[in-house]
Structure 1
Amino acid sequence: MIVSHRHRFIFAAVPKTGTHAVRQALRDHLGPDDCEQVGLFVDKRFPWPKLAAIRHGHLALRDVRPYLGEETFAGYFKFAFVRNPFARFVSYCAFMLRGGDTFHQRPQDVMRHFLFTDPPVGHVLFQPQAALLLDADGRTLLSDAVGRVETMQASFDALCARIGIPSRRLDQVNATVHDDYRRYYDQPLIDAVAQRYAVDLALFGYDFDGVR
């Protein structure tokens, strides 16, 4: 997550949505009083000890809200990137088994393991994207805008225009290697991902084939 007082925005870093590329581009415009929490490639911590103790940078908007105060939180432009949950889940599986050949040799076995055998429900990368963007009531969307990974550069350009900063070409950072997500699925896997990430599909307008 990034909180910029200079440009009055909050970037919520939803995992597996190109967040490190966005972070790199946004850092060019941060002021001395702006702050970031991240634990991969760069180690930065928020000035609030309770949040700083969390070892990753994928914080929920509702978590930072009390530290900024209602007026500041309401007045800052809050945004994130989201991704088709079916594609994101494949990326998650490939990422978790990076450095070996298991996912590429037996992708459906890996997917079934995470969905049926031992779902890592407490792992921030496995949680629905909406978990970082909804209020505690589970219904109110706190972000003012979401970009889409499927149109990453165009989304980033539009968000920069909204913030009032110049855009630039996004780098590719921390990408996982896999084929088109559709080829990994059978119907039971489609049904399981649709059930687990139902809130993301409904809230952000996705289905198995893409944006509805």
Structure 2
Amino acid sequence: MIVSHRHRFMFAAVPKTGTHSVRQALREQMGEEDIEQVGLFVNRRFPWAELAAIQHGHLSLRQVRPYLGEEAFAGYLKFAFVRNPFDRFVSYCAFMLRGGTVFQQRPRDAMAHFLFREPPEGHILFQPQSSLLVDDDGRTLLTDLIGRVEEMQASYDAICARIGITSRALDRVNGTSHGDYRRYYDQRLIEGVAARYARDLDLFGYTFEGIG
């Protein structure tokens, strides 16, 4: 997550949505008063001990809200990027099994393992995207803007225009190698992802085929 006091925005970094590309671009606009929590490529921590102790930068807006204060939280532009959950789950599996050949050789078996046999419930990358962006009721989005991975550059350009900062072409950082997500699925896997990430599908308007 990035909190910019200079430009009055909060970027909630949802895992597997191109967050490091966005971070790199936003850092060029940050001032000394701005803060970031991140644990990959760059190691930075928020100035609040309880949050700094968390070993990643994928903090929820709910977690940061009490530390920032209600006035700043309400006044800062809050945004994030989201991704089709079906595509994101394929990316998650490919990422977790990187360095080997299991996913390339038996992708559906690997997906079924994470989805049904041993779901990594506590892993931040496995959590629904909405879990980082909603209020305590679990349904009300705290974000002012949502960008989409499927329209990454256009979304970033629009967000920068809203903030009032200069946009630039986003780099590709920390990507995983896999084909079109649709070819990895059978009906059982479709139903499994649809059940697990039902709230993401509903809140962000996705279907198996794309943006609904």
- Counterpart for residue 161 of structure 2: 161
**Gaps in structure 1 of 5+ consecutive residues:** none
Shift in Å, 1:149: 0.1
Deviations 1:62-88 (A, max 9, x none): 000000100100000000000000000
The offset of 1:24, in angstroms, is 0.1
- Residue 60 in 1 paired to residue 60 in 2? yes
- Report the residue type matching 2:92 in the other structure: Y
Which residue of the partner structure matches residue 152 of structure 2?
152
1:101 corresponds to which residue?
101
CA–CA distance in 2 between the matches of 1:42 and 1:76?
24
Residues 34-53 of structure 1: pairs in structure 2 closer than 5 A? 34-53=34-53
Query: Given the alignment of the two structures, is residue 28 of structure 1 paired with residue 53 of structure 2, yes or no?
Result: no
Q: 1:173-192 residue pairs with structure 2 within 5 A?
A: 173-192=173-192
| Structure-to-structure mapping, 1:74-89, within 5 angstroms | 74-89=74-89
Q: Output the CA distance in 2 between the equivalents of 1:139 and 1:149.
A: 21
For residue 125 of structure 1, give the secondary structure of its aligned residue in structure 2.
helix
What is the deviation of 1:139? 1.7
Percent of residue pairs identical: 75
Distance in 2 between the 1:102 and 1:138 partners? 35
* Matched letter for residue 159 of structure 1: I
> Where in structure 1 do 4 or more consecutive aligned residues deviate above 6 Å?
none
Q: Distance between the aligned counterparts of 1:139 and 1:83, measured in 2? A: 17
Match of 2:201 in 1: 201
Aligned residue pairs total: 212
Q: What are the superposed Cα offsets for residues 23-62 of structure 1, whole Å, 9 maximum, x if unpaired? A: 0000000010100000000000000000000000000000
2:12 aligns to what? 12
Q: How does 1:91-130 map to 2 (within 5 A)?
A: 91-130=91-130
Q: For residues 76 and 172 of structure 1, what CA distance do their matches in structure 2 show? A: 27
TM-score by length of 2: 0.99
TM-score by length of 1: 0.99
- Looking at structure 1, the residues matched to 68 and 37 of structure 2 have their Cα atoms a distance apart, in angstroms, of 15
Gaps of 5+ in 2: none
- CA RMSD after TM alignment: 0.4
Q: State the alpha-carbon separation in 2 of the partners of residues 104 and 164 from structure 1.
A: 43
| AA in 1 matched with 2:140 | T
Deviation at 1:137, TM superposition (A): 1.4
| Alignment correspondent of 1:171 | 171
| 1:170 alignment partner AA | L
- Give the letter for the 1:125 counterpart: L
Shift of 1:136: 1.5
| Structure-2 residue corresponding to 1:138 | 138
Cα distance in structure 2, aligned partners of 1:51 and 1:183: 39
